[in-house]
Amino acid sequence: MERVQALGIKKWIDLQLHPQRIPENSALAAKLAPLDTLYMSTAQMLRNYPSPQEVKAMVAGKLPFPDDPDKRMMVDRLAARLQKATDQDGAKPRTVELAALLEPQQLRILRGGTPQEKLELFNSFPQERQDQLLESMGQGMRMQLFAAAGPALRRRIESANGPQSMVAQDLMAGKLFRAVYSNRQLEEVLVDFWYNHFNVFLEKGADRYMVTAYERDAIRPHVLGKFEDLLRATAKSPAMLFYLDNWESTGAQSPAGLRRQRGLNENYGRELLELHTLGVDGGYTQKDVTEVARCFTGWSIRQPQQTAEFEFNPRMHDEGEKTVLGVRIAAGGGIGDGDKVLHLLAHHPATAHFISRELALRFVADDPPETLVKRMAATFLKKDGDLRAVMKTMFDSPEFWSRGAYLAKMKSPLEMVASSLRATNADVDFAFGLNNQLNQLGQPLYRKVEPTGYSNSGQEWLNSAGLLARMNFSVALVNNKVPGVKVNGASTAEGVKLGSPDFQKK
């Protein structure tokens, strides 16, 4: 608020519309620095934080081991466990009991000591013994140690849950840190909006590794650019191609289709029209869905479990003539068939209206005024899908500033958590506890199964269970009961206890 008052609201909004002009704060950079998977390609993640399948391939000599000594040690430990996967009775081997690794007094400290006592005891052991302890501890005990540990030890503790899990943990921690600390607030809101618009479910197979690059490289760079660039980046993303199964979609009469007897998959074609561009009432037919799916045959992925890069496979492509929304696409167009569809959809009036309404629904009201939507759509068409110009039209509109729009929307769980932390000047040491809170509030990050993503309508979050969870979060936050989060400030952390006379007065 001080920043807004110092600059003036118009200048502040203009800066938010040009986030490259806003220097990021050092606190955020420090929080993100240890999360090394955020800066890796998918291939690098697969090599440095492999799944059990990749570890087996490394042991068999089919894939290289990580170059980094610490990551190599982590993979070696996992490989050793996998090689001893069954004992003579066919049962899974049991880890060494903690009692066999510690003296009674040491065991009592690890189970019942203060976090600092546990950390001092753990640090007194050589690394090999530390690794044994981490494997023998339950997850609850590891998390107690996690709270007192520094960044390096935390990475080792997280790796005890398996290297693959660290990719998802980094992804969610990065999102929460940016939501709480970034000076580029509008950019972060838009990254979340557009990821949700082009939703990909993290837990679907190879997408566990591909979502990081998807959000970083396909979504983030384009949130205030041209819609067609954003649309094309998502269409060529291995994460999207895998999630909606287009990477295996094959023209029935293509060489690969005739040889493999593999057919057309319409998942991406349907969602491209219904969710990404025209909208369910955008005037397309089932025939259009099929024709669009034919255009995208051959849009595939090179080695999803290794390099995970986009490739066009001409042997899978349907080279026949197609007609999409009344527009003829000549035979023999190859990869250009899909590009023509994307260009057609990005400049369609129905897309302009649908995208404008979705933005207005997110930023203004659950039932946004049609006059505002039409004005935004006109800017969309006039400015060649310039999303910054569309946002500026919305921010400049009387509807955005109207009394009816003020407090008209209920926050999503992510918005509620992030804004609470910003308002209370909270410090987030680690994001594990916040992520658990979001799970309880009904918005597990990157884990919306359906391609619709989470609803932008505030009414979707208005239910008794959700409201109770929000109150429980508020109680935990102001009383410093959320792991990894500390509220700084007497007015919230000490003077305002929920249920106290002071709180009731306020």
pLDDT cut 70: percent of the chain above it? 93
Query: What single letter denotes the amino acid at residue 73?
Result: M
Instruction: Using the Cα atoms of residue 137, residue 138, residue 139 and residue 141 in order, give the sign of their dihedral.
Output: negative
DSSP β-ladder status, 327-329 and 322-324? antiparallel
Q: What is the DSSP string of 157-197?
A: HHHTT-HHHHHHHHHHHHHHHHHHH-S-HHHHHHHHHHHHH
Q: What is the DSSP string of 273-306?
A: IIIISS-TTSS--HHHHHHHHHHTTTEEEE-TTT
Q: For the range 447-455, what are the long-range contacts, defined as Cβ-Cβ under 8 Å and sequence gap of 24 or more?
A: 447/201, 447/202, 447/203, 448/196, 448/199, 448/201, 449/201, 450/199, 450/201, 451/199, 451/243, 451/244, 451/271, 451/275, 452/199, 452/275, 453/195, 453/196, 453/197, 453/198, 453/199, 454/196, 454/199, 454/412
Radius of gyration of the chain (CA): 26
| 48-77 as b/e: b if 16+ CB within 10 A | bbbbeebbbbbbeeebebbeeeebebbbeb
CA 297 – CA 315 distance, rounded (Å): 9
CA 475 – CA 473 distance, rounded (Å): 5
The dihedral formed by the CA atoms of 103, 104, 105 and 109, expressed in degrees to the nearest 10:
100
pLDDT of residue 164: 83
| Ranges of H-type helices in 60-103 | 69-83
Q: What is the pTM of this model?
A: 0.91
Which of 136-140, 152-156, 232-236, 285-289 bottoms out in mean pLDDT, i.e. has the lowest? 136-140
Q: Which of 448, 460, 458, 457 is nearest to 198 (CA)?
A: 448
Q: Which residues contact 32 (CB under 8 A, 6 or more apart)?
A: 38, 174, 177, 178
Structure tokens at 79: 């490989």
Number of Cβ within a 10 Å radius of residue 98: 17
Sketch the domain layout of the chain as residue ranges: 2-34, 39-166, 198-346, 349-395, 413-505
Q: Which of 277, 266, 270, 265 is nearest to 197 (CA)?
A: 277
Which of 111-120, 214-223, 269-278 bottoms out in mean pLDDT, i.e. has the lowest? 111-120
**Structure confidence by residue, pLDDT tens digits, 208-262:** 999 999 999 999 999 999 999 999 999 999 999 999 999 999 999 899 988 876 7
Which of 91-100, 188-197, 235-244, 453-462 bottoms out in mean pLDDT, i.e. has the lowest? 91-100
Contact 168, 431 (CB under 8 A): no
**Structure confidence by residue, pLDDT tens digits, 412-432:** 999 999 999 999 999 999 999
Contact 308, 276 (CB under 8 A): no
Confidence of residue 319 (pLDDT cuts 50, 70, 90): very high
pLDDT of residue 84: 62
Give the three-state DSSP class for 454: coil
Average pLDDT on 428-444 reads: 94
